[in-house]
């Protein structure tokens, strides 16, 4: 870890704990800062805050007192989940106090270079693929960010022999001052998180921060099939490495003759890739580009893509039971995600869908119902999804109480060669605490069929 002097004897407020706040506060304390932590949860119910108190950190818990912002802080490290319209943050902005996230701290103390991955969709899968390719290629990667351990914790242990592969949200990227990945990936840009950012342009601008401080010695891997991504690329000072599933791109990654290519070199045949879906092909191309730029050989890339079956709850292959392939896509909490999952299959699909009713309809799913032979619904949106299924011409529709009961019903409606797909197109909160819980229940029910 680099011994950074920047924060020595600086008065710093860490706003909001969770894992990132705890790590940031502890690191700043080590770096000689005068650290105050402020968290909403009362101290008696807050073991993280209690631990920091024992280290000598000042802890204020149970509320966010606005007058705290007038105590002369020189820096705020904000939990990414706290929006900028929060009164504490608004007061900090009025006082012109710099606001960062712990990703910036990680970058400053890390001896290892970073590969940073962001985008609306595909971040987790791409991050996992890059990490596994580097690991297979014996490049000593470490994984951090939303998918792994907190970045500022990983950075303290990393050496110059490592590479930190990090998944980055727009929330995190709004809080950087110098963060500069050696390789950055922008998978795609769609509308998302408008409640946090205020409008679409602000969201896109936050994503563009991943390349803001890159130089001509760095690489920026971008989706050449999206105009908005290419607009972001025009702002970058890095070397642009495009990827495309639709055309051959010079000095980039692409699909040609049913094979994956990088800079005019054939990497492997598409038929040897296990992970299904056109959207996953985009993730694969960007990961291949990052791996090749990191010196990973084709054999290591082949071995990963020939065995990688997906990230848990993201179009994850579960099992083959009597010729039916079961996939867990519980992370598909919106229509776009379910459309992409359905488009990934040419086999007949029995779709399991439903969940929290947010007031929207599901007509946008109809074009993706081409291969759907039956639909099993559950949750608050069951009736809405059934209406759309009928309009799509699907004859077999059944409603059940929950995901667990949906699995044996779907099995009975399927035949050998079919796909049984949990891709709800809805959040889980009407019945399950998280989409992970929902996906785990599905997986367990599938294994019971055996």
DSSP H helices, 13-59, are: 18-30, 47-55
Residue 310 pLDDT: 83
Among 408, 277, 419, which Cα is nearest to 348's? Answer: 419
Between CA 9 and CA 98 the distance in angstroms is 16
Strand partners, 60: 38
Contact between 163 and 110 (Cβ < 8 Å): no
pTM for the whole thing?
0.84
pLDDT digits (tens, 9 = 90+) for 390-443: 999 999 999 999 999 999 999 999 999 999 999 999 999 999 999 999 999 999
| Per-residue burial over 100-133, b = 16 or more CB atoms within 10 Å of its CB, e = otherwise | bbbbbbbbbbbebbbbbbbbbbbbbbbbbbbbbb
Specify whether the CB–CB gap between 365 and 299 falls below 8 A.
no
Same domain, residue pair 378 and 404: yes
Question: Maximum CA pair distance of the chain?
Answer: 70
Chain centroid to CA 195? 18
CATH number of the domain within which 92 lies: 3.40.50.720
Other C-beta atoms lying within 10 Å of the C-beta of residue 257: 8
CATH code for the domain in which residue 413 is found: 3.90.190.20
Same domain, 267 and 375: no
Q: Over 90: is that where the pLDDT of 206 sits?
A: yes
Same domain flag for 24 and 164: no
* Percent with pLDDT over 90 in the chain: 91
What mean pLDDT comes out for the span 238-262? 97
Q: Is 384 labeled as ligand-binding?
A: no
Q: What per-residue confidence (pLDDT) applies to 145?
A: 86
pLDDT above 70 covers a percentage of the chain that reads 100
**Does the annotation place 124 within a ligand binding site?**
yes
Q: Is 439 annotated as a binding residue?
A: no
Domain count across the chain: 3
Can you spell out the DSSP letters for 398-436? EE-SSHHHHHHHHHHH--TT-EEEE--SS-STTT-SSHH
Q: What is the pLDDT of residues 73-124, one digit of tens each?
A: 999 999 998 999 999 999 999 999 999 999 999 999 999 999 999 999 899 9
Residue range(s) defining the domain that contains residue 320: 316-449
**119 assigned ligand-binding residue:** yes
88: number of Cβ within 10 Å: 19
Give the end-to-end CA distance of the chain in Å, rounded to a whole number: 49
248 assigned to some structural domain: yes
Helix, strand, coil shares of the chain, percent, nearest 5, are 40, 20, 40
266 is in an annotated binding site: no
Give how far the C-alpha of residue 370 lies from the chain's centroid of Cα atoms, to the nearest Å: 28
Question: In which band, very low, low, confident or very high, does the pLDDT at 18 lie, cut at 50, 70 and 90?
Answer: confident
* CATH code of the domain covering residue 166: 3.40.1190.10
126 in Cβ contact with 188 (< 8 Å): no
- Give CA–CA dist 196/202, Å, rounded: 9
pLDDT at 148 over 80: no
> Is 125 assigned to a binding site?
yes
Statement to judge: residues 143 and 50 lie in one domain: no
Strand, helix or coil for residue 266: strand
CA 392 vs CA 361, 369, 417, 443: distances in Å: 14, 7, 22, 28
């Amino acid at each position: 870890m680099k011994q950074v002097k920047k924060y020595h004897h600086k008065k710093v407020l860490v706003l909001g704990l969770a894992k990132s706040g705890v790590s940031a506060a502890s690191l700043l304390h080590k770096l000689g800062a005068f650290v105050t932590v402020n968290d909403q949860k009362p101290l008696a119910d807050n073991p993280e805050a209690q631990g920091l108190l024992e280290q000598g950190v000042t802890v204020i818990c149970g509320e966010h007192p606005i007058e705290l912002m007038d105590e002369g802080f020189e820096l705020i490290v904000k939990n990414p989940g706290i929006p900028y319209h929060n009164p504490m943050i608004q007061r900090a902005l009025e006082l012109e106090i710099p606001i960062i996230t712990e990703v910036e701290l990680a970058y400053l103390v890390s001896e290892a270079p970073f590969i940073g991955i962001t985008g609306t969709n595909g971040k987790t899968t791409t991050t996992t693929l890059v990490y596994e390719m580097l690991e297979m290629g014996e490049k000593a990667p470490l994984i951090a960010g939303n998918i792994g351990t907190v970045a500022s914790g990983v950075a303290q242990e990393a050496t110059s022999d490592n590479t930190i592969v990090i998944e980055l949200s727009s929330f995190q990227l709004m809080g950087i001052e110098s963060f500069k990945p050696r390789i950055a990936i922008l998978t795609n840009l769609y509308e998302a998180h408008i409640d946090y950012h205020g409008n679409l342009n602000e969201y896109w601008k936050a994503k563009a921060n991943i390349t803001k401080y890159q130089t001509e010695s760095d690489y920026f891997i971008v989706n050449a099939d999206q105009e908005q991504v290419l607009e972001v690329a025009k702002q970058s000072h890095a070397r642009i490495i495009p990827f495309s599933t639709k055309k051959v791109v010079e000095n980039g990654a692409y699909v040609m003759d049913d094979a994956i290519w990088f800079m005019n070199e054939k990497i492997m045949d598409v038929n040897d890739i296990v992970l299904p879906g056109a959207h996953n092909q985009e993730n694969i191309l960007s990961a291949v580009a990052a791996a090749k730029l990191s010196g990973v050989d084709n054999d290591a890339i082949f071995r990963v893509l020939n065995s990688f079956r997906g990230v848990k709850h993201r179009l994850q292959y579960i099992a083959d039971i009597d010729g039916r392939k079961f996939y867990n896509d519980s992370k598909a909490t919106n229509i776009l995600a379910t459309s992409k999952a359905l488009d990934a299959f040419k086999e007949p699909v029995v779709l399991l869908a439903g969940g929290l009713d947010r007031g929207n309809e599901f007509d946008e799913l109809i074009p993706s119902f081409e291969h759907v032979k039956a639909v099993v619904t559950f949750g608050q949106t069951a009736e809405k999804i059934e209406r759309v299924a009928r309009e799509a011409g699907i004859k077999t529709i059944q409603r059940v109480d929950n995901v667990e009961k949906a699995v044996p019903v779907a099995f009975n409606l399927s035949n050998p060669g079919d796909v049984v797909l949990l891709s709800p197109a809805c959040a889980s909160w009407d019945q399950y605490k998280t989409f992970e819980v929902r996906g785990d229940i599905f997986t367990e029910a599938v294994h019971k069929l055996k």
